Structure 1
Amino acid sequence: MGQKRKWNFPSNNFGQIFGIADSGVETFKGTPMKSLAREICQNSLDANDQSGQPTKIEFKAFQLAPSDIPDFEGLYDALKRSLAFWSGQTTDRAKSFFETALSVANNVAITCLRISDYNTTGLTGAREEYNSAWCNLTKSSGASDKSGSNGGSFGIGKYAPFACSVFRTVFYSTLDSANQSAYQGVSRLTSFRNASEEITQGIGFYGGEKNAPVYEQISLDSEYHRPVGQHGTDIFILGFNGDEHWREQMVASILDGFLYAVFNGTLVVDVDGTQISKDTLDGLVESHKDYFRERADEYYQTLLNRTEVCTFEKLFTEDPETCGKVTLRLMIEAGFHRRVAMVRQTGMKIKDKGHINGIIPFAGVLYIEGVELNTYLRTLENPQHLEWEVERADNQRKAKKLLQQLSQFIRESLNEMRDDSSEEELDPPVGEYLSAKQEEEAANEKKEERIMDTIHDVDSRVTEVKPPSSGEQDEDTAETQHPNDTGEISVSGFPGEGGSGDQGAGNGGGNGGGHHAGNGGGDIPKEHRQALSTIPASHIRNLVRDRKEGKYTIIFTPAISACDGVIEIFMSAESQAYDANILSAHCATHPNLTVEGNKIQNINFTRQQPLKIDVQIDYHDYCPMEVKGYGNKV
């Protein structure tokens, strides 16, 4: 007769004590839905049974009574003991976690999430002691036996489901390709004192003797049973912590990360009744646009469009380790964010490649083919599979060269597309403002800036004004920059400031008087007769509203407050900047702006308060802008 199955939290045998900040779980806590979608889809695609059928995944929420959870009393006891063990800490982090978990445990029904995949091999090797797909998922730490072009390589992705559980507890069940069945529960809590006063490791297992799995399938969802003969894996997340929008977030995350796999028909997903397939992409991209964080809607247009997209190919044949082929699809469209999705052979996007061009709005998808090339790039990926890092390579020079070749191919392709398809040449040309040495962009931008309608960014520059060296004087310019008595950079020569003669009459005169009367008199009060100082900007954005009409929006966020302010706008070229001829300027908070040449006047700067100005310039194409601010500091 078999004994009753229970949760078992092994003793640490007087060894290491484990706290609440599990590094694996913490990796995915910041973006739990995105991480869960990414890791599940990646693992299931890797496990495709090569039958020619697409990998299918189902996410299904359900309610479960505590009494229906295997040995829930044992899990509840572990939660209580953990709370008691860590209550003496100064920080409330562990205490807060266990109090929340126990509160949910006392509910009449507990929300859970079932994740099931089909047309996969399942988790093979359940009867092996180590180094099998089953063991690497349920018991190993930092172990992965994936090879070749498969998506995962660190074994850290298995922590993503635990980050979505208020109990940090998951059940696994599988029917593998050899028709072997197994299930097991895993709980990643903290060390605590058990009934024998021993301190535990914090990781508990529900199953057979010696923490072995039970060699049969289980379903905690009463409405689900795996179809006979359908190989695959079921994961049950206890105490699922998704919010009311988890479905939309999950759909958007899957499309952000695996759009290419869905588009080419190798991945089909059901998110609690919402079907994601190549046949439903049109509607989903439109209905979930507000939830996208990585521009899946732009990439979808690039994949779908057949008339405005250009396709480019490049073969890598020089090095046997990096042999392969890349295919790039590019589309130029107003409002696009100038990024290229870098997609590996599995259909998983690794990153959004930026720093390609700061002027033309475009989107692209780069698909990487070839076992050798994919295998090599996989060795450069960080644990989250969101970035290629040169430092991970044994031969960093080789890795850097490969990444530079990919970047150069994208830039050259964009140049070629512009030359072939544009009726009027862009000035300056594509890539003119790219540094000679571009590094890869940081992993998946965390800051989000979104402006709706058809507005898109234009390259901007913040210029630090340096005082001239001793004895220097520029006689060819009417604007003079010089340090004042406090060492700050000041500017004279603007209308309203007059000259700066040493005694008596200055020669600047004009409308404002200046430091002294000047030969032009002036009507600005004496207290305002001082040189303007450069106003540093915390942030500047230039947005195109209508390229053909030369209409832009400037958002200037000053780092300090100032009155009598002036903004200057320049059009940047390769070696110098040219005055922009401003036709008009309007600001809701400053109705009395005046315009002269490239200057906008009558501005008051308020520290960290964005100033939004709509301008029209006498230039009718995309152009990078340089913006400077001046004023009297207050």
Structure 2
Amino acid sequence: MTSDVGWKFPFLNDGTREGFNVSAIDMFKSERLQALVREMIQNSLDAQDKTSDPVIVRFTLDTTSDLDDTGFDELARYFKAAHKLEHTQAGKSFYQRAIDQVADGHVTFLGVHDYNTRGLTGPTFDPPENPQSGPWLALVKGAGMTFKESSSALGSFGHGSRAPFAMSELRTLFYLSRIEHEGSLETRFQGKSILQSVPLTEVTGAPEWCVATGYFGIRTKCLPLTDGEVPRWAIQARPELDRDALSVGTSVYIPEPYGVEEEELLWAEVKLAVVANFYFAVLTNKLVVHLGEHERIDADSVAQAFDDVVETDLINILKPTDKVVERLESARTVRKKDLSGTLQLEDFGTINWYLRLDGVVGRHVGVARGNGMLITRAAEKLQRFPGLKPFDLFVCVSGDQGSELLRKLENPEHTEFAFDRISDMTERKSAEAAYYKFQSSVRSLLREHASIQIEEEVSVDDLDDWFRGDLGAGVDNEKGEPNRTLRIAFKKARSHRENRQTELTGDADTSGRGSNGGPGKHKSKGGTFPGDGSGSAKSALRTGLPVRNLRVVRTAPGSGVADVAFTPVDGTRKTLVLLRSGDSETERLEFRTEEEVAAGSAWRTSLEFTELSATARKHLRLVFHPADLDYAIEGRLEP
């Protein structure tokens, strides 16, 4: 390298000293790899070149010992200066690990490469007398800058651009981009590291403090290396059909990534992130993903990729967080839909929807926009659905106007919508009105396909005096008199296919008035009016608190052995009860551990743990009566 090529952390110039903690990076630490995959693929989709072809994203893992061309020997001096200055244990540990990893003489890179994209275009220098903008400046040289090339773009290069830094144990990235520029091709390369302010006397000898962010490239004005100046290792690490012809697109290299000790598990984690967040994008041929050298996820294989990672024991090894488990439910809906279609809304555009009714617990709507990345499963005004049977709905707002509206409501992590993100009150009211039409259309769709069906209504005049009040405040006769007739509606018994949650027992007798419950396992208290008391009660009292994100997955079709995973509500309730769940009836399930089966032990209906934590997901394998696994199951923890 020439003397003008290397790392430069600009002078602080009496500005604000920056410490080790960077909130824009820390916010992604709980889901490092998930955040990386979401951010990188989102940026690639936003930069799509030919809309007739899918964007291709490749993930690779390489190691280099050419530390001179990466500048790590020089960067290590900044690590040492920061380690000497830092007082927190977390900061000191971080810098010591970074020093040790560079001293090892080898650096591992996780590479993320895209194709059929435009690359990081735009100027690389931003003079104050003539401010510039573009993808390169927003991503590489910006902080908190958003550059949006289309209404379907997910707000590229804003706060989310810090997600890849959370994945690097050195908080350092390298960007390689090939673009079409002024009628010819240009290759750009630059490194970026986010550390903390240190006295440069410890590094370069200059009597100045530096800012926390430094760049590898041409030190003068912190410019990128171009064309023949680009390090050979960066070009060779980008997979190409023709090694001598670098294609248009971008590669981001993440040195010393977290959690890559077992490469097979790394690709499984990436696959999990892809199917959880981009199932719809892959299915509709907007996206193709390659993992390492051997696996490809495309429209033809995404269903198998979902099954490989979610419907096998691998899901228990990966131990996804509650957020990921939630996202997987939307992917499951697209994978195993009962109904699907499109809506056309005026001033909103096209909406693609997928509805799942079979085997669903709860009522959820997952919302994506633009290129198909799932944003949230708890969207504004789409969280409560009284009068509907359990369902899971996925909608993707593909229309430009609707996508643009939702973009304005998104938080920086692209995980929720909030109207208070729009400061202008006039614009906010307009957004609320447009969004109201959207959520109304979604609710109308659900009423059409997920309403509880009424089989019979019976008028009971004898109870009129007991429920006089405001009952039946509607008008039901020619004189406009209030209707005070009490109607009892009997819900249609749904088939096993329509809803696995419900098991009806006993007969509904419209004339029965029982003073005693039926002869079932648990007798219910009798009614107010005496009578013959015919019927059946097969209901176990729901006690304790429900666990979060319960997953029960059979180890083989028809088997009674299942892997059970859940997140406790707190650490005080330690007795697990599993119940067969229905609309109105609940029955405790019998189960045993595999050890109890081998020992011939009796069936149990609860399992006590010595220790549970509300922050740690619990995984276990249990043996059930096989038929019980055909029903929806809920879990509760009792004191």
Q: CA 1:14–1:182 in structure 2 vs 1: closer, same or farther (change >3 Å)?
A: same
Is the CA contact 2:368–2:397 (under 8 Å) kept in the aligned structure 1?
A: yes
Structure 2 residue identity aligned to 1:345 = G
> Which stretch shows the higher mean deviation, 27-36 or 49-58?
49-58
Structure 2 counterparts to residues 265-304 of structure 1, below 5 A: 265-273=285-293, 274-289=295-310, 290=315, 293-294=324-325, 299=330, 302-303=333-334
Q: Deviations over 1:342-380 (max 9, x none)?
A: 121212221124544697443322121221111111101
Aligned partner of residue 420 in structure 2, secondary structure: helix
Q: CA 1:458–1:200 in structure 2 vs 1: closer, same or farther (change >3 Å)?
A: farther
User: For residues 607 and 64 of structure 2, what CA distance do their matches in structure 1 show?
Assistant: 61
Q: In the alignment, which residue of structure 2 is the partner of 1:92? A: 89
Q: In the alignment, which residue of structure 2 is the partner of 1:372? A: 401
Is the CA contact 2:60–2:292 (under 8 Å) kept in the aligned structure 1?
A: yes
Q: CA 1:214–1:108 in structure 2 vs 1: closer, same or farther (change >3 Å)?
A: closer
Aligned partner of residue 159 in structure 1, secondary structure: helix
Q: In the alignment, which residue of structure 1 is the partner of 2:140? A: 138
Unaligned runs of 5+ in 2: 127-131, 458-496, 503-513, 517-521, 524-540, 553-563, 574-579, 593-604, 613-617
Aligned partner of residue 10 in structure 1, secondary structure: coil
Q: CA 1:48–1:81 in structure 2 vs 1: closer, same or farther (change >3 Å)?
A: same
What is the percentage of aligned positions where both structures have the same residue? 25
Shift in Å, 1:272: 1.3
Structure 1 residue identity aligned to 2:106 = A
Q: In the alignment, which residue of structure 2 is the partner of 1:199? A: 209
Aligned partner of residue 288 in structure 1, secondary structure: helix
Matched, 1:43 2:43: yes
Q: In the alignment, which residue of structure 2 is the partner of 1:441? A: none
Aligned partner of residue 27 in structure 2, secondary structure: helix
Structure 2 counterparts to residues 483-502 of structure 1, below 5 A: none
Structure 2 counterparts to residues 155-554 of structure 1, below 5 A: 155-178=158-181, 179-195=185-201, 196-208=206-218, 209-216=220-227, 217-221=230-234, 223-225=236-238, 227=242, 228=245, 230-243=247-260, 244=262, 245-273=265-293, 274-289=295-310, 290=315, 293-294=324-325, 299=330, 302-303=333-334, 309-317=338-346, 322-335=347-360, 338-353=363-378, 354-356=383-385, 360-393=389-422, 394=424, 395-418=427-450, 425=454, 537-539=544-546
User: For residues 412 and 343 of structure 1, what CA distance do their matches in structure 2 show?
Assistant: 19
Q: In the alignment, which residue of structure 2 is the partner of 1:65? A: 65
User: Is the helix fraction higher in 1 or 2?
Assistant: 2
Q: Deviations over 1:20-74 (max 9, x none)?
A: 1112211222211111101111111111113522111111011121635422221
User: For residues 11 and 107 of structure 1, what CA distance do their matches in structure 2 show?
Assistant: 30
Q: Deviations over 1:303-347 (max 9, x none)?
A: 456xx7333543332xxxx43232322122115664333121212
User: For residues 587 and 17 of structure 1, what CA distance do their matches in structure 2 show?
Assistant: 61
User: For residues 334 and 4 of structure 1, what CA distance do their matches in structure 2 show?
Assistant: 64
Matched, 1:22 2:28: no
Shift in Å, 1:571: 9.4
Shift in Å, 1:400: 3.9
Is the CA contact 2:349–2:397 (under 8 Å) kept in the aligned structure 1?
A: yes
Q: In the alignment, which residue of structure 1 is the partner of 2:596? A: none
Q: CA 1:283–1:170 in structure 2 vs 1: closer, same or farther (change >3 Å)?
A: same
User: For residues 124 and 285 of structure 1, what CA distance do their matches in structure 2 show?
Assistant: 34
Structure 2 residue identity aligned to 1:45 = L
Structure 2 residue identity aligned to 1:182 = R
Q: Deviations over 1:516-551 (max 9, x none)?
A: xxxxxxxxxxxxxxxxxx999454799999xxxxxx
Is the CA contact 2:43–2:157 (under 8 Å) kept in the aligned structure 1?
A: no
Q: In the alignment, which residue of structure 2 is the partner of 1:105? A: 102
Aligned partner of residue 180 in structure 1, secondary structure: strand
User: For residues 7 and 571 of structure 2, what CA distance do their matches in structure 1 show?
Assistant: 58
Q: In the alignment, which residue of structure 2 is the partner of 1:116? A: 113
Shift in Å, 1:190: 0.7
> Which stretch shows the higher mean deviation, 50-59 or 182-191?
50-59
User: For residues 133 and 29 of structure 2, what CA distance do their matches in structure 1 show?
Assistant: 27
Q: CA 1:477–1:82 in structure 2 vs 1: closer, same or farther (change >3 Å)?
A: farther
Aligned partner of residue 237 in structure 2, secondary structure: coil
Is the CA contact 1:538–1:558 (under 8 Å) kept in the aligned structure 2?
A: no
Q: CA 1:542–1:389 in structure 2 vs 1: closer, same or farther (change >3 Å)?
A: closer
Is the CA contact 1:154–1:383 (under 8 Å) kept in the aligned structure 2?
A: no
Structure 2 residue identity aligned to 1:334 = G
Structure 2 residue identity aligned to 1:81 = A
Q: In the alignment, which residue of structure 1 is the partner of 2:31? A: 31
Shift in Å, 1:118: 0.9
Q: Deviations over 1:428-469 (max 9, x none)?
A: 9xxxxxxxxxxxxxxxxxxxxxxxxx9x9979xxxxxxxxxx
Is the CA contact 1:342–1:352 (under 8 Å) kept in the aligned structure 2?
A: yes
Q: CA 1:398–1:84 in structure 2 vs 1: closer, same or farther (change >3 Å)?
A: same
Q: Deviations over 1:111-150 (max 9, x none)?
A: 1111111111111124442412111111111212214221
Aligned partner of residue 363 in structure 1, secondary structure: strand
Q: CA 1:177–1:558 in structure 2 vs 1: closer, same or farther (change >3 Å)?
A: closer
Larger radius of gyration: 1
Q: CA 1:365–1:541 in structure 2 vs 1: closer, same or farther (change >3 Å)?
A: closer
Q: Deviations over 1:266-319 (max 9, x none)?
A: 1111121321111221321111112562466654564456xx7333543332xx
Q: CA 1:560–1:365 in structure 2 vs 1: closer, same or farther (change >3 Å)?
A: closer
Is the CA contact 2:303–2:335 (under 8 Å) kept in the aligned structure 1?
A: no
Aligned partner of residue 353 in structure 2, secondary structure: strand
Structure 2 residue identity aligned to 1:102 = I
Is the CA contact 2:275–2:331 (under 8 Å) kept in the aligned structure 1?
A: no
User: For residues 101 and 608 of structure 1, what CA distance do their matches in structure 2 show?
Assistant: 35
Q: CA 1:93–1:99 in structure 2 vs 1: closer, same or farther (change >3 Å)?
A: same
User: For residues 570 and 30 of structure 2, what CA distance do their matches in structure 1 show?
Assistant: 31
Is the CA contact 1:165–1:239 (under 8 Å) kept in the aligned structure 2?
A: yes
User: For residues 549 and 166 of structure 2, what CA distance do their matches in structure 1 show?
Assistant: 39
Structure 2 residue identity aligned to 1:188 = I
User: For residues 410 and 379 of structure 1, what CA distance do their matches in structure 2 show?
Assistant: 20
Q: CA 1:74–1:23 in structure 2 vs 1: closer, same or farther (change >3 Å)?
A: same
User: What is the CA RMSD across the aligned residues, in angstroms?
Assistant: 4.9
User: For residues 405 and 55 of structure 1, what CA distance do their matches in structure 2 show?
Assistant: 32
Is the CA contact 2:145–2:157 (under 8 Å) kept in the aligned structure 1?
A: yes
Q: CA 1:172–1:398 in structure 2 vs 1: closer, same or farther (change >3 Å)?
A: same
Aligned partner of residue 117 in structure 1, secondary structure: strand
Shift in Å, 1:415: 2.9
Is the CA contact 1:538–1:608 (under 8 Å) kept in the aligned structure 2?
A: no
Shift in Å, 1:237: 1.2
> Which stretch shows the higher mean deviation, 388-397 or 95-104?
388-397
- In the superposition, the TM-score normalised over structure 1's length comes to 0.66
Structure 2 residue identity aligned to 1:373 = G
Q: In the alignment, which residue of structure 2 is the partner of 1:527? A: none
User: For residues 358 and 544 of structure 1, what CA distance do their matches in structure 2 show?
Assistant: 25
User: For residues 7 and 583 of structure 2, what CA distance do their matches in structure 1 show?
Assistant: 67
- In the superposition, the TM-score normalised over structure 2's length comes to 0.65
Q: Deviations over 1:540-568 (max 9, x none)?
A: 799999xxxxxxx9x9999999xxxxxxx
User: For residues 543 and 396 of structure 2, what CA distance do their matches in structure 1 show?
Assistant: 42
Shift in Å, 1:606: 11
Aligned partner of residue 117 in structure 2, secondary structure: coil
Q: In the alignment, which residue of structure 2 is the partner of 1:148? A: 151
Q: CA 1:229–1:608 in structure 2 vs 1: closer, same or farther (change >3 Å)?
A: closer
